[in-house]
Amino acid sequence: MKFTILGSGGAIRIPRACCTCSICKEARQKGFPYKRLGQSLFLHDGFILFDTPEDINEELNCHSIPRVDHIFYSHWHPDHTLGCRIIETLMDGSGKQVDVHIPKNDINITINQNPVFEYYRSMDFCNVISTNEDVYINKIRIRKIQLKNEFAYAFLICQGNKRVLYCPCHTMHIPYLPDLYHVDLMILAKGYSTILNDEWTNFERDTLRIIKELHPKRAIITHIEETDGIGYDEYKVMEKDLRNIEFGYDGQVIEI
Ligand SMILES: [Zn+2]
Ligand SMILES: [Zn+2]
């Protein structure tokens, strides 16, 4: 399986508009990989996109993605869904409907009480597939893993004997299911370095503990917040003390 991280940023991107901190200044000057757009992952096998942050059009352009056939949504939060108008853009370019996969009865983005995905479906821009069953695309099996907070999902992506767990957000709520131990690759949201409360994932308290307990062969950290105040170079230094753990970046290609 071949993946590209299209966006490794969190709810607040780097650079943050109007911010004059050194991290944002550096990102403006140097661009990628110092710059981090909204969280999104692309699986080249099957042309599968996971989530659509508002930067998704730019992300698809920057990383030369030729085609999108499927979009999987992890949860409704705006940092993962507000680029959903890409459905219209993709249809207009290819004339081919995208398959939009949402958890059963779970994602309902509405504008002025009108459900957006239903509107796009009625316009023949997309098909909407609402299920919690496994989805098979070519030889890839995608299982939706409902997180313990109940409204968000991770994905277990399998091909042959390879297993990848992708948790785009809310890492602290990953359930310890038997299939999630010892995966070949985990790509998971970092959580905050600076904020400690019971509702939000904290990097040290939650993410590092989960990696240690589920014991993947390799882990890549993403959904990296500007508010943590840590730049790309500093993450590269931090990596040296973390066995099997890397900090992802926009445009990173991962083959497994
Ligand atoms: Zn800043
Ligand atoms: Zn998020």
Tell which residue, 7, 4, 9, 6, has the closest CA to residue 225: 9
Q: Where are the domains of the chain?
A: 2-255
Q: Find the 22 Cα to ligand 1 centroid distance in Å.
A: 7
* CB neighbour burial string for 191-228, b if at least 16 within 10 angstroms, e if fewer: bbbeeeeeeebbbeebbbebbeebebeebbbbbbbbbb
**Residue 34 CA to ligand 1 centre (angstroms):** 12
List C-alpha distances in Å: 195 to 60, 200, 226: 31, 8, 13
| 133: confidence class by pLDDT, cuts 50, 70, 90 | very high
Which two structure tokens, joined as six digits, stand for 29? 């000057």
Ligand 1 centre and the CA of 90: distance in Å?
32
Assign a CATH topology to domain 2-255: Metallo-beta-lactamase; Chain A (3.60.15)
pTM comes to 0.96
Instruction: Identify which of 36-45, 86-95, 119-128 has the greatest average pLDDT.
Output: 36-45
Rg (CA), the chain: 17
> How many angstroms is it from 15 CA to the middle of ligand 1?
6
Q: What is the pLDDT of residues 155-207, one digit of tens each?
A: 999 999 999 999 999 999 999 999 999 999 999 999 999 877 888 999 999 99
16 CA to middle of ligand 1, Å?
Answer: 5
Q: Output the CA 200–ligand 2 centroid distance in Å.
A: 11
Query: How many angstroms separate the CA atoms of 227 and 194, rounded?
Result: 8
Q: Which ligand is nearest to the CA of 226?
A: 1
pLDDT of residue 2: 98
Contact by Cβ (8 Å): 65, 86: no
CA of 182 to the centre of ligand 2 (A): 25
Give the separation between CA 2 and CA 12, rounded to whole angstroms.
27
| Distance (Å) from CA 214 to ligand 1 centroid | 33
The pLDDT of residue 114: 85
Say how many Å lie between the CA of residue 237 and the centre of ligand 1: 20
| pLDDT band with cut points at 50, 70 and 90 for residue 95 | confident
Q: Which ligand is nearest to the CA of 24?
A: 1
Specify the pLDDT at position 119: 92
Work out whether strand 70-72 and strand 98-102 pair parallel, antiparallel, or are unpaired: parallel
160 C-alpha to ligand 2 centroid (Å) = 29
Q: pLDDT value at position 104?
A: 83
